[in-house]
Amino acid sequence: MKIRARALKGFFIKEIIQIIRDPKMLFAIFFIPVMQTVMFGLALTSEVKNIRFAVVSKPGKIAQQLESRALASGWFVSVPGLNGAQVADPEELIASHRAEAVLVAPPEGFEKALERGSSPIQLLLNATNAQRAQQVNGYVQQIVAETARANGYNLSGGLIELDMRVLFNHYMDTTAFMIPALMVMATFIVLLVVGGMALAKEKETGTMEKLIASPCSVEEIMLGKTLPYFVIGLGIVGVVLFVGVVGFGIPFRGSLWQVGINAGLFAVSALACALLISTVARTQQQAMMGSVLYLMPSILLSGVFFPVANIPLLFRWLCYLNPMMYSVLNFRAVILKGGDWGLFWQNCLCLAVISVGLCLIAYKNFKSKLN
């Protein structure tokens, strides 16, 4: 198989010029990924805030510090018109929806409870939303631990677990966890939709017949049509990474060459999917619908929003055929943790195998359609 550089260069320049001349194409390629990054980075968060919180205890230094630290943390808000010393039934605060979390001290107060080396401190939670209640529980434990340490108390072995250690994302910032996944999502959406529609457009407008009649080989046509979008895919990864690091302040602990390798393998798999869809579709509308049908399960089975371990076994095997899953794992590991060499190359190998398989299928189908 011989590929001529001159023919490939002509296809590349022609596609770039066609993209630049189409304002809608430029909008879809560059503005949409940035807009998605900003919107998801600001709005898509599992952080729990504005928790109505009350401390019920007789007046004391510890009770005052617990409430002050809770309000200063930014997670909690006070319950209007509440005086902890005058609350007769703390459970009524939860039942009446006045509070979501109530920390109740024993009759002798927080000081005596902490001095005994144990923690008979009751935490009442509104567990209507179980996930939210778990996070609130973690927040309260952290505040109690900080207050106890500040006053010289040791709560080891107490009822409230104080041994908390957070790695890689010390502030539990959801944005830092989501931006690497958004790099994959934005790149995949653009390459699959725009790339597939660009190839289907050739058939819809009748220019594909001219390409078939030209002296160009199947390989040259295939590479010439997809190579510009490969470069664009790498550019999208760079733009989203820049917005995440500079705009949202996410940590970048890995290497750019690791990001480049992962992005390149992933872009190849996305373009192979786009090429495969375009060989089946006859019009741009069909290519669009096919891309949308493929996108949703790919995103849901990639670990972007839900851990793969939580997906039922009936569908979990599909995750390991999804190139998005390996790309998300690699980007998160490289950006947030610095990259584990074994895990990185293992994911790259799986991604390369899937990419080669998709390319072979797409090439065979594309060649048969042209013939």
Rounded Cα distance between 116 and 118, Å, is 5
What is the pTM assigned to this prediction? 0.63
CATH numbers and ranges of domains, the chain:
5-44+173-370 (no CATH), 51-150 (3.40.1710.10)
Give the helix ranges, DSSP H, for the chain. Answer: 5-21, 23-26, 32-43, 61-72, 90-95, 110-115, 130-150, 174-205, 207-213, 218-242, 256-280, 284-300, 313-319, 323-332, 341-370
Q: How many residues does the chain have?
A: 371
Residues 6+ apart with CB under 8 A from 41: 175, 178, 179, 182, 243, 244, 247, 248
Q: Which residues of 221-252 are buried (b: 16+ CB within 10 A; e: fewer)?
A: bbbbbbbbbbebbbbbbebbbebbeebbebbe
Rounded Cα distance between 33 and 189, Å, is 9
> In this structure, what DSSP letter does residue 79 have?
P
Q: What is the pLDDT along the chain (371 residues), one digit of tens a residue?
A: 677 888 788 888 888 887 788 776 677 677 767 766 765 555 455 566 777 888 877 777 877 888 888 888 777 888 876 654 466 677 777 766 677 788 777 777 777 666 655 556 777 777 645 556 677 777 887 787 777 777 776 655 444 443 333 445 555 566 777 788 888 888 898 888 888 787 777 777 777 667 666 777 777 777 877 888 898 889 999 988 998 888 888 888 888 999 999 999 999 999 888 888 887 777 777 788 778 778 878 887 887 776 676 677 777 788 889 899 999 888 988 887 777 788 889 999 999 998 889 888 888 877 766 66
